[in-house]
Amino acid sequence: MPQDIVPLKRALISVSDKTGLTEFAKALDAAGVEILSTGGTAKALRDAGIAVKDVSEVTGFPEMMDGRVKTLHPVVHGGLLALRDDDAHQASAAEHGIGMIDLLVVNLYPFEETVARGGSYEDCVENIDIGGPAMIRAAAKNHAFVGVVVDVEDYDSVLKQLAAQGGTDQAMRKKLAQTAYARTAAYDAAVSNWMAGAVGIETPRRRAFAGTLAQGLRYGENPHQHAAFYTTGEMRPGVASARQWQGKELSYNNINDTDAAFELVAEFDPAEGPACAIIKHANPCGVARADTAAEAYRRAFDCDRTSAFGGIIALNQTLDGDTARAITEIFTEVVIAPDATEEAKEVFAGRKNLRLLTTGGLPDVESAGTSFRQVAGGFLVQSRDNGRIALPELKVVTRRQPTDDEMADLLFAWQVAKHVKSNAIVYAKELATVGIGAGQMSRVDSTRIGRSKAQDMAEALALPLPLTSGSAVASDAFFPFADGVEALADAGAAAVIQPGGSMRDAEVIAAADARGLAMVFTGQRHFRH
């Protein structure tokens, strides 16, 4: 049986990220641990006055081929893989002069960072580590006797055990091994996914995804579900990279809804003015553009005040004091924006249950990317929905042309509909949503729900007519029958934007003409399930 405590007598350290390296190695050195190292790591240790032996001294071979070959040697891998309680292993080690290695400390070439900064194909390939993963996997396999550290976060735990008991125990080595295998798996996933994109393979035979734990969550969608939040390292402004200024930790649902809100509001270029989106259960309950962020918020709020309670608010510009004060008039879970003024932070400071996140920028809604979803026995992978429609691409199919104001509202509603669960219907007027129907099995039902919400708000705001009167409407997919258009006309809609492509398009267009509606086709669908 393997022994529980393995004394630390010899360690091999080879790291690209040298954070905390000197302090860690000094503690090992002070405890009498012999340190083997390579290249830049060995130099950094010597510069810090730490005794170190080059791996090349141990292997009898110099580092060669620009450092590509330095640790790929039986003396290294034998020291990592040899079973301490196997007499044959130990005899082979003694015969060939292989010393045992009790601790391996390796973090890999910065491949992910090289890709993130836009490195060339050749530069990315050069930053694919070979010797590091090979050593990590060897040490992790032999965790009965060898500890393996791949994260700086584990330095302190190893040093505490070293100080307390002279070595690592079995429980820690198992935990370190799991982390190590996860790291090499993530690294290989990053390399394979990058290469698929670099060489133009849209559907690679094998696909892997990986993440790094950002936080454990109290629970998942429901209290009986375990959950955690992992980040992929994608350099995209949003909830994963945001700074949280106040409030308790985000929940599973908070994170999901905040992501939905920020991706939606990013559709609206801040150079063209402030925009605000209010999200509840991953669906928008109000979106608006205006001359000020405070006005955009109020107009978004007036789309569906009931649903906005306890929602997520996203802004495409810096959160200011006036907007913050307006937001605090009701209970809000999360506010996310590219930035926030000191005044806004002070306004929120007294709201302990409100979380404020800033991201430093907006995600590029037109950038390529990948999304995936689990199904039983597998997962679905697709490119990010970065489709956008410009005015010249629209095709007017009715006798009546939309007015300029109607066309502006149509394009606004279309951008919002992209982020509404299917079947999606979005009524908009003067660059603000006035009714939203989402996630229904029938498009007609979504049409009626949006109209009903507008009627409720007309009563609440003491308006003579619901704001759907004279509105522009977006449908995320085509109308399969004329009944949907009839329902829109009954709600007072004046113009409709939809993909087109139904077998009954002629019937649908005829219904629009009969009711005096303007209708444009996009030729593009935005299902969101």
Which residues participate in catalysis according to the annotation? 141, 281
Q: Which long-range contacts (CB under 8 A, 24 or more apart) does 232-236 make?
A: 233/112, 233/116, 233/190, 234/369, 235/116, 236/363, 236/364, 236/367, 236/369
Q: Are 312 and 280 in contact (CB under 8 A)?
A: yes
Helix (H, G, I), strand (E, B) or coil at 361: coil
Q: Sort 463 into a burial class: Cβ within 10 Å, 0-12 / 13-18 / 19+.
A: middle
Closest by Cα among 453, 459, 456, 492 to 473:
492
Write phi, then psi, for 165 (nearest 5 degrees).
Answer: -140, 10
Helix (H, G, I), strand (E, B) or coil at 106: strand
Residues 6+ apart with CB under 8 A from 208: 185, 188, 189, 192, 193
Alpha carbons 440 and 425: distance in angstroms, whole number: 10
Query: Is the backbone of residue 301 left (phi > 0), alpha (psi -120 to 50) or beta?
Result: alpha
Closest by Cα among 257, 266, 418 to 332:
257
Query: Is the backbone of residue 251 left (phi > 0), alpha (psi -120 to 50) or beta?
Result: beta
User: The tokens of 406 are what?
Assistant: 């109607």
